[in-house]
Amino acid sequence: MHRALTDEDLIGVARQALEIEIDGLRAQLPRLGPPFARACRICLDCRGRVVVTGMGKSGHVAGKIAATLASTGTPAFFVHPGEASHGDIGMLTRDDAVLALSNSGETEEILKIIPVIKRLGVPLLSMTGNAASTLARASTVTMDIAVPAEACPLNLAPTASTTAALAVGDALAVALLKARGFTEEDFARSHPAGSLGRRLLLHVADVMRTGAAVPRVGADTPLVEGLLEMTRKGLGMTTIVDAEEHLIGIFTDGDLRRVLDRGVDLRSVRIAQVMTRAPKTAQPEMLAAEALHLIEAYRITALPVVDEHSRVAGALNVHDLMRAGVV
């Protein structure tokens, strides 16, 4: 039978659970001392990988910590302690370090693999809520992550304790990230399929239009012919080049509106007479995200791309960047 709780009752229970978890996180702040710093040093000195392990709910948290470490510059992976006793401990090498999570510090599956870890001479780091436990005593470094209480009303289900373990794991990853000088570009290389990877790994050369797809006309071209070139190429602009393909200006949809406002005869004027000189440009080696910044900052829709000699190498517009996933 469900208890007859009102909506206000349910919200009250949820708020109380969050308060307990917040108290559990606050309890970690004064404990971030020399043991945490030593754990960081061991991870930084590790020539192999950080092998993270935990059972049950702690195992789920351990998997997330391993993934966060790996994506922020610290090679790491998760090993299930139960499977470790049946062969997976063979993944561990003498160059590795082990990070074990157990709130009680007495998890049987973890204790069973400690002798193997010790025989290999591998550093054993632990996160536990029991600083006097078997795991804590066997560890090279113990990080005490005890919480005042679980958010579970029965004080049984791992709630505040797993939140604390997750947060301290994040703190470890962030501290290591900072110590390694890990950059946005490094993060992008670990996430090539993500939006950040697309923004930081794609260069203008990867998305720009080249060859015959680039609108270009000479300085003496009648404006009406320049408009036809713009229409054919569909970029909303055309480049104007000299005999050696050096960019001398562009003509855009905005320029056309200004010409019409002035009542200029489109058939009699040469495009060089009404073009925009010294336009904003991109370079092939520029990050696509930088090109997007130019487009947004100057409220334009397209950019000519020039090489180191100011020759037209390509062109792109905001739709090209959108198709590439940069926007």
| Separation between Cα atoms, residue 326 and residue 247, nearest integer Å | 26
Distances (CA, A) of 227 to 20, 308, 324: 68, 28, 27
pLDDT digits (tens, 9 = 90+) for 91-142: 999 999 999 999 999 999 999 999 999 999 999 999 999 999 999 999 999 9
Count of CB atoms within 10 A of residue 3's CB?
5
Domain with CATH 3.10.580.10 in the chain: 204-323
Identity (one letter) of the amino acid at 58? S
CA atoms of 210 and 233, how far apart (whole Å): 11
Q: Give the global pTM.
A: 0.66
Low-confidence ranges of the chain (pLDDT < 70): 1-2, 184-200, 327
What local confidence, expressed as pLDDT, does residue 327 receive?
Answer: 66
Give the pLDDT of residue 200: 63
DSSP H or E segment with residue 143:
strand 141-144
Q: Where in the chain is the domain with CATH 3.40.50.10490?
A: 12-182
Q: Which residue has 């055309």 as its token pair?
A: 238
User: What CATH class does 12-182 carry?
Assistant: alpha beta
d(CA 162, CA 101): 10
Class of domain 204-323: alpha beta
CA geometry: angle 132, 160, 151, nearest 5 deg: 120
Strand-by-strand arrangement of the 97-101 sheet: 76-78, 50-54, 97-101, 124-128, 141-144
pLDDT of 2 reads 66
What does the alpha-carbon distance between residue 209 and residue 318 come to, in Å, rounded to a whole number? Answer: 12
